[in-house]
Every structure is written in C-alpha cells, then in structure tokens.
Amino acid sequence: MIKLFVDNWSQFLTGFGWTLLSSVLALFFSLILGSFFAILEVIPNKFARIVGNVYVEIFRNIPLLVITMFFYLVIPMYVVKINGFAAGTIGLIIYTSAFIAETVRAGINSVDVGQMEASRSNGMTYVQAMRYIVLPQAFKYVIPPLGNQFVNLVKNSSVLAFVAGFDLMYQGNSIASTTFETVNTYFVVAIFYLIITLPISYYMQHLERKIV
C-alpha cells in the first residue's frame, strides 16, 4: 500500500485537493442557502413558506446523482457550459442545502416564540430579530445534526467521480484501473476521506461541548 501511494502520490494529492475544495465550497454555500430556505419556511408570509417547503421537499427527495447529472448534461446543452467539477459542486450545494434547511428550521422552531415577540416589541424588524436574536440561538441547538450534514457532504462529494470532477474517487478509480491494486487503492482513498471528515467531526463535538 505504501509503494502504491509513493508511486501515485501526485494523483492522490490532486484528488484530495479537488475533494477538499469542492467540500469547502459546498459547505459554505449550502449553509447559506439552507439557512435562507429555513427562514422562508417559518416566515409569516404564506407564499414564502410555500417556496421554502417546495424547494426542500423537491431536493431532499431527488438523488444527488440525478441533480448532478442534470447540471452536467442538461445545463451545458441548453444554458451554459460548465465542467464536471462545477456541476458536481453545484449539485452538492443544492442537495445538501435542502437537508440543512430542515435542520436549521427545527432549530428556529426550538427557540421560544417570545424571543421574536420581545425583539419586535423593542423596535427590531423581523429580519433583524431573526438575524441577531433567533438564528444565533437556533444554531446552538442544531450543532450536532449540522456536524452530521457536514460529514455527509464530504462523503457525498464522491459524486464528482461520475462527472469527471477529478476528486479522490475519480483519481482512485483511475489508479485502480491502471495498477489493478483495487483494495490498496481504495484503502488509501478512504484514509484521505478520514483526514477530512474526522477533524470536522471532532471539532463539531468540541463546539457542542463549548457552546451548549
């Protein structure tokens, strides 16, 4: 296994870099997008709630691969050309954001309604009250499930392999097909995924103990 890594270290590190980049981008934008649709789901406006619910229900119930293939095949055909990395990352953002939206919505609903009412009575707008009072408390409640979503996001980034996204799985498949050392190759790939996911998991646990 060590010889396999030494002989193919450049490919492994390239895949690790692309996986890390995709995961960081998807984590950042899915958190923003998910929080936005979570707010839409609880906002007093009925139309906004419908939009939020429709978005979440649609993308939670469509496989990630289908969403990714849509951006990889359909969007370049009719809208604009994008590469496999972009298609995979966008698919990952949209898919993960739907789950994050439900997680954050649950956190918002866990906050006492009196917090919003007190904020509004003190002159805050709905947006200000949500931003400064409700959301900070909501995120405290949902740290554990959010951590799980972040770890799942990293693992789901392997979908890039299906659209030539040059990620860890893509490079692993390439190495395995040329060296015929399938077991050792995917063992190395698994180690690289653990290098990303374990720190996230431990950090979220630390954050939970510190904040909650």
123 phi, psi to nearest 5 deg? 100, 0
pLDDT-based confidence at 3, cuts 50/70/90? confident
Half-sphere exposure of 106 (CA within 13 A, CB side): 11
pLDDT of residue 212: 58
Predicted TM-score (pTM) of this structure: 0.92
Quick: pLDDT tens for 139-184: 988 988 999 999 999 999 999 999 988 999 999 999 999 888 899 9
Quick: pLDDT tens for 50-99: 999 999 999 999 999 999 999 999 999 998 999 999 999 999 999 999 99
Quick: pLDDT tens for 94-146: 999 999 999 999 999 999 888 888 888 888 888 889 988 999 999 988 988 99
Q: What is the 3-state secondary structure (H, E, C) of 141-179?
A: HCHHHHHHHHHHHHHHHHHHHHHCCCCHHHHHHHHHHHH
pLDDT of residue 127: 86
What domains lie within the chain, and their CATH numbers? 2-211 (1.10.3720.10)
Token readout for 6 is 């030494």
